[in-house]
Amino acid sequence: MVSGAATYARRRNLWYVLTLTAFFAHSFWLYALVAALLLAIVSRREKNPPALFLFLLFVVPMATIPIPGFGVINFFFELSHARILELFVLLPAFLVLSRRPGRLVFGGTWPDRFLFLYLLLSTVLYFRDSTVTDTLRHTFYLFIDIFLPYYVASRSLKDLESFRDVMMSLALIVMVVSLLAIFEMLKHWLLYYPLLGALGLSGMLGYLERGGVQLLRASVTTGQPIALGYLVVVGMGCYLYVQRFVRSRMLRRLGFALLAGGVVAPLSRGPWVGMAVLVAVFIATGPYALRRLSGMVVAAVLGFGILAMLPGGEQVINLLPFIGSTESGTIDYRKKLFDTAIVVIERNPWFGSVNYLDTPEMQSLRTGLGIIDIVNTYIQVALETGFMGLALFSGVFLATLFGIYKAMRRVRDKSKEEYMLGRTLFSVLVAILVIISTVSSISIIPLVYWSVIGMGVAYTRISARVRETGVKAPVARARVLSRRGMAGG
């Protein structure tokens, strides 16, 4: 492993212990106590907090439970496995980084400024129809769920070695999640669904199938099939970068096969589009782009032709977005959501509304499950904070993409690792921008994209430092993935 055998073994063992604790605790509070104690000990020895955070983020399903209050306070805040990690891994790292000499002060980059204004606007607008207690709680959530993942990733990753570590950690754990997803789909068994009841949590959709195909839509610990597909697309992007450090061709192919199976298992079409965009952008930013893109198109056409002739191939094709006819109502719903949301947004175009769900137009979108599903992050942001909030939210992404692109263009040798890292981060962020247009920011989705944005900011800082000093970023000799995988010693 890039991170070193001892560091990898520590993270792996912690993953095992937390998983076993979750299944045997039968109480989320007992699990939270054990997790907090272990993380408090381990985080002191961790040199790469974002790598540890992402490696452990998918241990327990994405669900919350309120911490009971007293008196006039009904509850303090909602706790989850992710927030335990934020409080005991990211928060200590933030306190150390914020006191480090020579640190880049928050606000020193354009993504910083857009993010600060977006968080400030969200906090101010929350006062419109809320108590002081609720606003303080909302501000706390913004700090730990958005600011901490972004800040720690953007400030703690300082060389290519640390990037290899975090990218390898995320790619490896997504492979494990993909393996579990394939099992869930084929065995029609949600492995983590019973765990919610045992821990007293809620938040997973439960058993879902895609029409016409008798296969379960996997979700593993993400709680939502589309969130799982999104995660695997990000993991595939990371793997495009780290697979060059895996010497064994068989292991490289096995990694790709696991991730390909993982993106299929949720049967979610938005991530499939995101995967196609990821690969296309990755190829387009590399050498021989036109030739390879042409080859990709030809391979896709031939693949469709072969698939159409195979038994059951027509059912598979019908699952594809824009081509197939299976559950086309979900696409129609998204179109109706867009048209309806525009009408509602036009009433409060600048700063949105707190009661947009109560409007007759939005009520007309209520599904058979009794919910109004805002399956588009951009629409969700615009409804809540208006076009001003949407501009600031999008500005964080666009400023980061622009910074990565500028840094890539200044690398003359396109075969260098520095350029490959930029290609990967740029491709992943573009894919994320596409996927979140098909889903609201639920489950692990925002935690992952704020972390990736932070990584993009860190990449531009590394490139700028290299150009200013004329010295290469520190690069340690990369070790390959352990052949023993998660079960090794």
pTM, to two decimals = 0.92
Q: What is the mean pLDDT of residues 175-193?
A: 94
Taking the CB of residue 197, how many other CB atoms lie within 10 A of it?
A: 10
Where is mean pLDDT largest: 299-308, 319-328, 386-395, 410-419?
Answer: 386-395
Q: Are 152 and 33 in contact (CB under 8 A)?
A: no
- Supply the pLDDT for residue 371: 82
CA distances (Å), 234 to each of 17, 216, 259, 334, in order? 26, 22, 10, 23
Q: CA 309, 304, 430 angle in degrees (round to 5)?
A: 160
- Supply the pLDDT for residue 265: 93
From 215-229, 241-255, 327-341, the region with the lowest mean pLDDT: 327-341
- Characterise 474 by phi-psi region: left (phi > 0), alpha (psi -120 to 50), beta (else): beta
Q: How confident is the model at residue 4 (pLDDT cuts 50, 70, 90)?
A: confident
Number of residues assigned to the chain? 489
Q: What is the mean pLDDT of residues 463-483?
A: 50
Two tokens at 127? 């006062």
Exposed / middle / buried, residue 373 (Cβ in 10 Å: 0-12, 13-18, 19+): middle
What is the chain's mean pLDDT, rounded?
88
How far, in Å, CA of 63 to CA of 174, rounded? 19
Q: What is the mean pLDDT of residues 380-403?
A: 97
Q: Is the pLDDT of residue 283 over 50?
A: yes
Kindly report, residue by residue over 93-109, the tens digit of the pLDDT: 999 999 988 788 999 99
Q: How confident is the model at residue 368 (pLDDT cuts 50, 70, 90)?
A: low
Q: Is the pLDDT of residue 455 over 90?
A: yes
- Could you tell me whether strands 64-68 and 75-80 are parallel, antiparallel, or unpaired per DSSP bridges? antiparallel
Kindly report, residue by residue over 392-419, the tens digit of the pLDDT: 999 999 999 999 999 999 888 888 999 9
- Supply the pLDDT for residue 67: 85
Q: Is the pLDDT of residue 260 over 80?
A: yes
Q: What is the mean pLDDT of residues 211-233?
A: 88
Residue scoring higher pLDDT (467 or 163): 163
- Supply the pLDDT for residue 301: 78
- Supply the pLDDT for residue 180: 97
CA distances (Å), 268 to each of 251, 289, 335, 412, in order? 27, 28, 17, 39
- Supply the pLDDT for residue 457: 97
Q: Report how far Cα 300 is from the mean position of its chain's Cα atoms.
A: 27
How far, in Å, CA of 27 to CA of 266, rounded? 28
Q: Are 164 and 478 in contact (CB under 8 A)?
A: yes
Q: Is the pLDDT of residue 187 over 70?
A: yes
Q: Are 284 and 408 in contact (CB under 8 A)?
A: no
CA distances (Å), 145 to each of 119, 239, 442, 449, 451, in order? 11, 25, 12, 11, 10
Element (H, E) at 377: helix 377-409
Q: How confident is the model at residue 489 (pLDDT cuts 50, 70, 90)?
A: very low
Beta strands, E only, 7-124: 64-68, 75-80
Two tokens at 223? 């709680």
- Supply the pLDDT for residue 184: 95
CA distances (Å), 4 to each of 23, 249, 455, in order? 29, 21, 21
- Supply the pLDDT for residue 478: 41
- Supply the pLDDT for residue 465: 65
Q: Are 239 and 348 in contact (CB under 8 A)?
A: no
Q: What is the mean pLDDT of residues 347-374?
A: 88
CA distances (Å), 232 to each of 63, 227, 377, 432, 449, in order? 20, 9, 19, 11, 13
Q: Are 167 and 153 in contact (CB under 8 A)?
A: no
Residue 483 DSSP SS3: coil
Q: Is the pLDDT of residue 129 over 90?
A: no
**468 Cβ contact list (under 8 Å, min separation 6):** none
Percent of the chain with pLDDT over 70: 87
DSSP assignment letter at 201: -
DSSP string, 217-258: ---TTSSSHHHHHHHHHHHHHHHHHHGGG---HHHHHHHHHH
Q: Is the pLDDT of residue 474 over 50?
A: no
